[in-house]
């Protein structure tokens, strides 16, 4: 249990750092997120509610886009439960397959100009045109990340509190970030 909590905290903090660097590199997006926060919350002193988080749609799109660009989970392994016939081969039951989650987010067929940071990719209109398994930052199905709800809430609430009080700037450019890749990606570049 301690390992799970430590892993959740570590990956969530890393995701927040990368989200902040993304906003620092795109002040126009940061301004749009802040405007939405001010519009939804109005009173800068009140706590953020679940209803607020659900109403902060552009903030949610920005979090999703940051997870697409900087996704922490590189790949997952799954076991094939029944034979699957594909165009070029058959995946036999009992076999193992690797699903490259991070690479899916950079697939230009799914996300045109994948190196561009565009939260609008996750607008309701754009989501209608994309398969729901095209973006799986927390894996999918019955074995998805147990911390998904916590991580998304943490990122949104932290961003609300930070942007209410500060404008984020960074000397780190997104294209200069270097990663260490294991099962999970970590930035080797000092971010904050």
Confidence band for 186, pLDDT divided at 50, 70 and 90: low
Q: Decide: residue 8, CB within 10 A, 0-12 exposed, 13-18 middle, 19+ buried.
A: middle
14 and 186 Cβ atoms separated by less than 8 Å: yes
pTM score: 0.86
Give CA–CA dist 55/57, Å, rounded.
Answer: 6
- Give the pLDDT confidence of 19-67 residue by residue, as tens digits: 999 999 999 999 999 999 999 999 988 899 999 999 999 999 999 999 9
Q: What is the pLDDT of residue 139?
A: 79
Q: What is the pLDDT of residues 55-75, one digit of tens each?
A: 999 999 999 999 999 887 788
Query: Annotated binding residues for heme, as ranges?
Result: 145
Q: 9: exposed, middle or buried (C-beta count within 10 Å: 0-12, 13-18, 19+)?
A: middle
Annotated binding site: 145
Q: Please tell me the predicted confidence (pLDDT) of residue 1.
A: 54
Spell out the domains of the chain, with CATH numbers in brackets: 2-187 (1.10.630.10)
Name the pairing type of β-strands 96-99 and 76-79: antiparallel
What pLDDT shows up at residue 55? 97
With contact defined as beta carbons under 8 Å apart, do 29 and 69 qualify?
A: no
pLDDT for 5: 58
pLDDT band at 102 (very low <50, low <70, confident <90, very high): confident
Instruction: Look at residue 121 and tell me whether its pLDDT is greater than 90.
Output: yes
Residues in the chain: 192
Predicted local confidence at residue 192, as pLDDT: 63
Beta bridge partners of 184: 73
Whether the per-residue pLDDT at 132 is higher than 90: the answer is no
Distance in angstroms (rounded) separating the CA atoms of residues 29 and 21? 12
Of 30-39, 93-102, 148-157, where does the model show the most confidence?
A: 30-39
Q: Which residue from 112, 4, 22, 123 is spatially nearest to 67, judged by alpha carbons?
A: 22
Query: Over 83-132, what HEC string results?
Result: CEECCCCEECCCCEEEECHHHHHCCCCCCCCCCCCCHHHHCHHHHHCCCC
CA 104 to chain centre: 13
Res. 146: pLDDT tops 90 = no
């Amino acid at each position: 249990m301690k390992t799970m909590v430590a892993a959740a905290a570590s990956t969530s903090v890393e995701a927040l750092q990368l989200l902040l660097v993304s906003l620092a590199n795109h002040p126009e997006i940061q301004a749009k997120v802040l405007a939405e926060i001010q519009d939804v919350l109005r009173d800068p002193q009140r706590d953020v509610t679940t209803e607020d988080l659900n109403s902060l749609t552009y903030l949610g799109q920005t979090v999703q886009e940051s997870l697409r660009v900087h996704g922490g989970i590189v790949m997952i392994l799954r076991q094939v439960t029944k034979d699957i016939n594909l165009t070029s081969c058959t995946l036999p039951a009992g076999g193992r397959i690797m699903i490259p989650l991070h690479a899916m987010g950079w697939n230009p067929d799914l996300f045109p100009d994948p190196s561009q940071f565009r939260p609008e990719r996750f607008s309701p209109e754009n989501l209608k045109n994309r398969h729901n398994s095209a973006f799986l930052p927390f894996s999918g199905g019955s074995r998805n990340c147990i911390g998904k709800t916590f991580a998304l809430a943490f990122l949104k609430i932290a961003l609300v509190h930070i942007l209410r009080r500060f404008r984020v700037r960074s000397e780190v450019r997104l294209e200069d970030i270097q990663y260490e890749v294991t099962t999970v990606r970590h930035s080797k570049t000092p971010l904050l």
